[in-house]
Amino acid sequence: MLNMSLDPKQNRMIGELAAVATDLRKFAREAEEAGKVPQAVRVALDEFGLPGADGFASGVEDAVSFCLAAESLAWADAGIAYSWLASRQVAWIIATCGTEEQKAKWLPRFAKDPFMPASLFLYEGRGATPSETDTKIQRKGNHLVVNGYKSPVMYPNAELAVIIGRDDDGKLTAVIAENPGDAVTFKAEETGRRLAMTACPSALEARITDLALPADAAMESEGLLGALTTCRMAHSAVCIGTAAAATRYAGDYARERTAFGKPIIAFQGVSFPLTDLLIEADALRLSVLDVVTADISPEEQERRANVVVAEANQFVADGAREGVQLMGAAGIVTDHPQERVYRNAAVLASIDFDPLISELSIR
């Protein structure tokens, strides 16, 4: 049964951090235009103290704080949130499944930079869950050879990458690749054509061809599926935070905007959809926490996660659309965050998307 009580640290992630992130929203446009997280945002979040500030060297027992922090950061901007999340996902996996040597090498580097570029080669762009990956990691002599396709990949040019695939026995496994070089080719959007979330660099596709790695690049398989599920729930949390923030912003606007002699939020056609969305945000947050805390098998945990991801994808699309529609013309000008949120929603919903179980529609 889900324990809905949060400890003080977890409450801080959903309360105080959301307030800090809301104040940092003013830097979202700068982050989008510059293609990186502004220094002022880095300083503020470093002072706050996010989960994984030590690179998760102290452990990965608190998946709840990890997901709540991802949700709250999205109140600033999805691109800023993902710049942090993409880095911490890799740190989480290394802290969970890395060898002692791998942890000793990389976790201190994550501790030095909360936004340290790191690539997670996980998604395969066609609704495949981690347990269904087609990427092959084969042992040949005294080294490993990786072949596969991934889409999308954040921080494609990072020095450090964790690649998820299957070994010779078909078992889910992962390897660390340092500076993969020409064995990995990326396809990115044309310059100036990327829709949104430009604060976090990404590539649409990555093709891995005969990437040779030393044998000690292999990570431990135990706990890997659970770690990947936690990372996917943190992604869902960004979707939830993005939609919830847009809904709250639209509600505040509706209190100030008047029509027919009263604030438009007084009309049921305005207030009811906003209320529904805020209730759905709470429900989805509980679903995320249920997945990461449930005492069940990793396979069942993944099955539940698939449903939550699909619901979070639809929720961020719905929340972004309602935010724009409620504000009318004001929703599509850059004076307000809603137009950026609407663009971000399309990108977020496409990252971990399974067309077989999702009813996603962006109307």
Q: Is the pLDDT of residue 36 over 80?
A: yes
Residue 231 pLDDT > 90: yes
Q: Are residues 252 and 272 in the same domain?
A: yes
Mean pLDDT of 37-59: 97
Question: How far, rounded to the nearest angstrom, does the alpha carbon of residue 329 sit from its chain's CA centroid?
Answer: 30
Question: Comparing 257 with 356, which gets the higher pLDDT?
Answer: 257
Percent of residues, the chain, with pLDDT higher than 90: 88
Predicted local confidence at residue 1, as pLDDT: 53
pLDDT at 191 over 60: no
3 pLDDT higher than 90: no
Q: Are residues 14 and 30 in the same domain?
A: yes
Q: What local confidence, expressed as pLDDT, does residue 2 receive?
A: 58
Query: Over the stretch 287-299, which tens digit does the pLDDT of each residue have?
Result: 999 999 999 999 9
Say if residue 212's pLDDT is above 70: yes
Average pLDDT across the chain, whole number: 94
34 in a domain, yes or no? yes
Q: Does residue 18 belong to any structural domain of this protein?
A: yes
What does the pLDDT look like over 250-276, one tens digit per residue?
A: 999 999 998 899 999 999 999 999 999
CA distance 209 to 67: 33
Query: Averaged over 25-53, what is the pLDDT?
Result: 97
Q: Report the domain count for the chain.
A: 3
pLDDT at 125 over 80: yes
pLDDT at residue 301, rounded to an integer: 98
Residue 7 has pLDDT above 50, yes or no: yes
Q: What is the pLDDT of residue 244?
A: 98
Considering the domain architecture, whether residues 303 and 327 belong to the same structural domain is answered as yes
The larger pLDDT score, comparing residue 192 to residue 362, is at 192
Q: What is the pLDDT of residue 126?
A: 78
Picking from 84, 85, 82, 80, the residue whose alpha carbon sits closest to that of residue 33 is: 80
Whether the per-residue pLDDT at 362 is higher than 50: the answer is: no
Question: What is the Cα–Cα distance from 247 to 169, expressed in whole angstroms?
Answer: 47
Is the pLDDT reported for residue 194 higher than 90? no
Q: Domain end: 62, 84, 112, which one?
A: 112
Verify that 196 and 270 share a domain, yes or no. Answer: no
User: Mean pLDDT across the stretch 149-158?
Assistant: 96
Q: Of the residues 217, 236, 261, which one is the last residue of a structural domain?
A: 217
**pLDDT bucket at 363, cuts 50 / 70 / 90:** very low
Q: Are β-strands 136-140 and 143-150 bridged in parallel, bridged antiparallel, or unpaired?
A: antiparallel
- Are both 141 and 103 inside the same structural domain? no
Instruction: Tell me the pTM.
Output: 0.95
Residue 2 falls within a domain, yes or no?
no
| Same domain flag for 71 and 150 | no
Domain that holds residue 209: 119-217
- CA separation for the pair 155, 160 (Å, rounded): 9
Given 166, 187, 217, the domain boundary residue is 217
**Average pLDDT score over residue span 154-160:** 96
> Which one is predicted more confidently, 134 or 193?
134
In this structure, the number of other CB atoms found within 10 A of the CB of residue 251 comes to: 18
Confidence of residue 143 (pLDDT cuts 50, 70, 90): very high
**What is the rounded distance in angstroms from the CA atom of residue 76 to the CA atom of residue 40?**
13
138 falls within a domain: yes
pLDDT value at position 327?
92
Residue 363 lies inside a defined structural domain of this protein: no
pLDDT, tens digit, 9 for 90 and up, residues 310-319: 999 999 999 9
Residue 322 has pLDDT above 90, yes or no: yes
| pLDDT given at position 190 | 61
pLDDT value at position 234?
99
DSSP string, 138-183: EEETTEEEEEEEEB-EESTT-SEEEEEEE-TTS-EEEEEEES-GGG
Q: How confident is the model at residue 357 (pLDDT cuts 50, 70, 90)?
A: confident
Cβ atoms of residues 124 and 151 within 8 Å: yes
Phi then psi dihedrals of residue 101, to 5 deg:
-65, -40
The whole-angstrom separation of Cα 266 and Cα 283 is 25
- Indicate whether 134 and 103 sit together in one domain: no
**Is 77 contained in some domain?**
yes
pLDDT confidence of residue 193:
59
The pLDDT tens digits of the residues spanning 90-111 come to: 999 999 999 999 999 999 999 9
CATH number, domain with residue 296: 1.20.140.10
